[in-house]
Amino acid sequence: MLAASSSDAVSVTKEWKHKRNCAISPRQFVLFYLSLAAVSLGVALIAAWRGGWLVLPFTGLDLLVVGVAFVIHARHATDYEVIRLSPVSLVVEQRSAQRLTQYEFNPRWVRIDIEKPPRMRIVLRSGSRSVTVGAYLAPHRRETFARELRRCLAQQA
């Protein structure tokens, strides 16, 4: 995460932080995978002992594929976006997996567009630049957030 200087922190008038809704901690996630692996290997070993030895390689392949899927999911479990409004700038900071991107706009020139349902994405536009925000908000909350952001931008003008 980028550190803001003390002068930047004082001038921020409003900040929104949106993040993914993760119902399971990383530790619980690992324990779940280990329990899944133990049960699967137990069943595969019983099948191999009873003559179904081909079950073992397929169980290993299955656990490998599930493990890869879990790693991909875990990489995005801490994704977030932070939107900071100050009198001189609107900064959007987005983290997706290990990539951090930051966009800066002049708050007086920002236009907020809301796409029609079913997507209802919020797009901030300024000149030829645009960025989509609010992806981690529930669809029914995006319009409320867009109204609040519009109101705060109007107060800055």
Structure tokens given for 84 = 């900071």
Confidence of residue 4 (pLDDT cuts 50, 70, 90): very low
Asked if the structure places residue 14 within a domain, the reply is no
Number of domains in the chain: 2
Q: Are residues 51 and 105 in the same domain?
A: no
Q: Are residues 144 and 110 in the same domain?
A: yes
DSSP 92-139: EEEEETTEEEEEEE-TTT-EEEEPPTTT--EEEEETTEEEEE-TTS-H
Q: Are residues 140 and 87 in the same domain?
A: yes
**pLDDT score of 35:** 97
User: Residues 101-147: pLDDT tens digits?
Assistant: 999 999 999 999 998 877 789 999 999 999 999 999 988 899 999 99
Predicted model pTM: 0.72
Asked if the structure places residue 10 within a domain, the reply is no
Q: Are residues 62 and 92 in the same domain?
A: no
Please name which of 105, 125, 103, 104 lies closest in space to residue 113, comparing C-alpha atoms.
125
Enclosing domain of residue 93: 79-155
Contact present, 76 and 97 (Cβ < 8 Å): yes
> Across the chain, what does the average pLDDT equal?
88
Q: Are residues 143 and 107 in the same domain?
A: yes
Neighbours of 85 (CB within 10 A): 22
Confidence of residue 24 (pLDDT cuts 50, 70, 90): confident
Asked if the structure places residue 64 within a domain, the reply is yes
